[in-house]
C-alpha cells in the first residue's frame, strides 16, 4: 500500500504536445463494460493487497517507458516533422504502449469491486495516477493524428471486447438499393466478428455483416439472412463489397474485385429505414448499444463507403485495384465522420500500399 501511495503522489512530467485517439471508458470509477458483459480479460488475483502491489509495479513500468519515449521525441522532432522511418517506429511503439495500458486499465476495472473496502483517499490517489498517465499518452499520441488526406486512415480494433468500436456520425436515408464497400484485415478465430452493423428503432439487424463462430460470413437485412462465399480471416487486407436492391431482394458479394456470389429473396421489397446508427466493429442488440464481445470484430478497417445504388461490377473492380477513388455518395470515408471509443484508435494508412506488402 505504501508503494501504491508513493507512486500515486508522483507528479506527471510535462509532455511534448505530440496523440493516437486513445479514449478509455475507465477514466472514472463508475465507467466500464456493463456488469452483464462477458469477461474477456481473464481472472486476476483476488487479494486486494497483491493487486495494488501489482498495479504499482505496472504503473512504474509505464512511467519509465513514457519518459524514455519523451526523451527520444525531444531528440528527434524538428520543425520539418518526423522522418518517415522514425514515424513508423514511433507508431509501432505507441501501439505497443497503448495495448499495455489498456490491459492494465482493464485489470483495474475488473478488480475495483474488490478494492471498495480501501479508503476513499487511496482510491482517489490511484485514479489520479492513472489519469495522469493516460493524459501523457494522449499528448504523445496527438502528433500522429494528422493524416495525409481525410480518407488516409484506418480504425484499429485490437481486442475482442464489448466496448471497442467506431461510430459513423452520419446516418442513412431511406434506401431502396445500396452498395457497401470496405477494406478489412483480420486473422481472428473463430470468425472475424462484425465489421459493421446498422440498427434502427424496432430493428437492431437492419443491415449487418457478421462472421460469428464457425459460421460463414452472413449479410443480414431486416433480420433476414444470406450466406456469403467470402474468406477473409487470413490476416491480409481484403476489399469487400456487398450490393442489394429491394427489387426481388437481389444481392451480390465481391472480394478483391471478383464477384463470388449472388442471390435473391433477401428481404425483398423492404426499404432500408432511415435515421439509425452505424457502428464499426460491434453487433447491436439495441440501437447504438448492448454489444456482445463474442461478436466483436478484431482487426483493422478502412475505406468504409456506402452508395445508394448498385455499383457496376467494373466500378467495384476499379475501386479494389486502386485505379479509382470513388467515395460513397451516402456515407464517405472521411476522418471527421468517424469517432472511436473504448480504446479503438485511428492510424494513418495507405491501404493500397499495405495490400501490396501482403502479396
Residue 199's CATH number: 2.60.120.200
Question: Which range of residues forms the domain containing residue 209?
Answer: 153-358
- Supply the pTM of this predicted model: 0.61
Residue 10: per-residue pLDDT? 40
Residue 11: per-residue pLDDT? 37
Question: Does 127 reside within a domain?
Answer: yes
Q: Which residues pair with 341 in a beta bridge?
A: 165
Q: Strand 224-228 relative to strand 237-245: parallel, antiparallel, unpaired?
A: unpaired
Q: Could you tell me if 243 and 199 lie in one domain?
A: yes
**Residue showing cell 480518407:** 151
Q: Could you tell me if 117 and 230 lie in one domain?
A: no
Closest CA to 133 of 249, 13, 52: 13
Q: Could you tell me if 247 and 318 lie in one domain?
A: yes
- Within 10 angstroms of residue 290's Cβ, the number of other Cβ atoms is 16
Question: Does 122 reside within a domain?
Answer: yes
Question: Does 60 reside within a domain?
Answer: no
Which residues contact residue 356 at a Cβ distance below 8 angstroms, ignoring those fewer than 6 apart? none
Q: Please tell me whether residue 336 adopts helix, strand or coil conformation.
A: helix
Q: Could you tell me if 174 and 227 lie in one domain?
A: yes
Which residues contact residue 296 at a Cβ distance below 8 angstroms, ignoring those fewer than 6 apart? 157, 160, 161, 162, 164, 165, 193, 194, 281, 282, 283
Q: Strand 177-185 relative to strand 153-157: parallel, antiparallel, unpaired?
A: unpaired
Q: State how far the Cα of 101 lies from the Cα of 104, in Å rounded to an integer.
A: 5
Q: Could you tell me if 159 and 276 lie in one domain?
A: yes
Q: State how far the Cα of 265 lies from the Cα of 249, in Å rounded to an integer.
A: 4
The structural domain count of the chain equals 2
Q: Could you tell me if 176 and 97 lie in one domain?
A: no
Question: Does 43 reside within a domain?
Answer: no
Contact between residue 122 and residue 4 where contact means Cβ atoms under 8 Å apart = yes
Handedness of CA 307, 263, 189, 258 (dihedral sign): negative
Q: Could you tell me if 260 and 180 lie in one domain?
A: yes
Residue 38: per-residue pLDDT? 40
CA 345 to chain centre: 6
Q: Could you tell me if 211 and 320 lie in one domain?
A: yes
Q: Could you tell me if 221 and 336 lie in one domain?
A: yes
All three cell numbers of 218: 452472413
Q: Which residues pair with 96 in a beta bridge?
A: none
DSSP conformational letter for 231 = -
Q: Strand 237-245 relative to strand 250-255: parallel, antiparallel, unpaired?
A: antiparallel
Residue 28: per-residue pLDDT? 35
What are the strands of the beta sheet with 258-263, ordered from one edge?
Answer: 258-263, 250-255, 237-245, 177-185, 299-307, 153-157, 345-348
Question: Does 40 reside within a domain?
Answer: no
Q: Could you tell me if 104 and 200 lie in one domain?
A: no
Question: Does 273 reside within a domain?
Answer: yes
Residue 80: per-residue pLDDT? 45
Residue 151: per-residue pLDDT? 84
Residue 96: per-residue pLDDT? 79
Mean pLDDT by 10 residues, the chain (359 residues): 42 37 37 39 51 70 72 58 64 77 76 63 70 64 60 90 93 96 90 94 95 90 95 92 96 96 96 96 92 93 96 95 91 93 88 65
Q: State how far the Cα of 297 lies from the Cα of 159, in Å rounded to an integer.
A: 8
Amino acid at each position: 500500500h505504501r508503494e501504491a501511495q508513493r507512486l500515486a503522489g508522483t507528479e506527471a512530467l510535462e509532455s511534448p504536445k505530440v496523440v493516437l485517439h486513445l479514449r478509455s471508458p475507465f477514466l472514472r470509477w463508475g465507467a466500464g463494460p456493463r456488469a452483464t458483459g462477458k469477461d474477456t480479460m481473464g481472472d486476476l488475483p483476488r487479494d486486494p493487497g497483491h493487486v495494488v502491489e501489482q498495479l504499482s509495479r505496472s504503473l512504474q513500468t509505464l512511467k519509465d517507458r513514457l519518459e524514455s519515449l519523451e526523451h527520444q521525441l525531444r531528440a528527434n522532432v524538428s520543425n520539418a516533422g518526423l522522418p518517415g522511418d522514425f514515424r513508423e517506429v514511433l507508431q509501432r511503439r505507441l501501439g505497443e504502449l497503448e495495448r499495455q495500458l489498456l490491459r492494465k486499465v482493464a485489470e483495474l476495472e475488473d478488480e475495483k469491486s474488490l478494492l471498495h473496502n480501501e479508503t476513499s483517499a487511496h482510491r482517489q490517489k490511484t485514479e489520479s495516477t492513472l489519469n495522469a498517465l493516460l493524459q501523457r499518452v494522449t499528448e504523445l499520441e496527438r502528433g500522429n493524428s494528422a493524416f495525409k488526406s481525410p480518407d488516409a486512415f484506418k480504425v484499429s480494433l485490437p481486442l475482442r471486447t464489448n466496448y471497442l468500436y467506431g461510430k459513423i456520425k452520419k446516418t442513412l436515408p431511406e434506401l431502396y438499393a445500396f452498395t457497401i464497400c470496405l477494406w478489412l484485415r483480420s486473422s481472428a478465430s473463430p470468425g472475424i466478428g462484425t465489421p459493421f452493423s446498422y440498427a434502427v428503432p424496432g430493428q437492431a439487424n437492419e443491415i449487418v455483416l457478421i462472421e460469428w463462430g464457425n459460421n460463414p460470413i452472413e449479410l443480414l437485412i431486416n433480420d433476414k439472412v444470406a450466406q456469403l462465399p467470402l474468406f477473409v480471416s487470413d490476416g491480409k487486407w481484403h476489399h469487400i463489397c456487398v450490393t442489394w436492391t429491394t427489387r426481388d431482394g437481389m444481392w451480390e458479394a465481391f472480394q478483391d474485385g471478383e464477384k463470388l456470389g449472388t442471390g435473391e429473396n433477401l428481404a425483398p421489397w423492404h426499404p432500408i429505414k432511415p435515421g439509425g446508427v452505424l457502428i464499426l466493429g460491434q453487433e447491436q442488440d439495441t440501437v447504438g448499444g448492448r454489444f456482445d464481445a463474442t461478436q466483436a470484430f478484431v482487426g483493422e478497417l478502412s475505406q468504409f463507403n456506402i452508395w445508394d445504388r448498385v455499383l457496376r461490377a467494373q466500378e467495384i473492380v476499379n475501386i479494389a485495384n486502386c485505379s479509382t477513388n470513388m467515395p460513397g455518395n451516402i456515407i464517405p470515408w472521411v476522418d471527421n465522420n468517424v469517432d472511436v471509443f473504448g480504446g479503438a484508435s485511428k492510424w494513418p494508412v495507405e491501404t493500397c500500399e499495405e495490400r501490396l506488402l501482403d502479396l
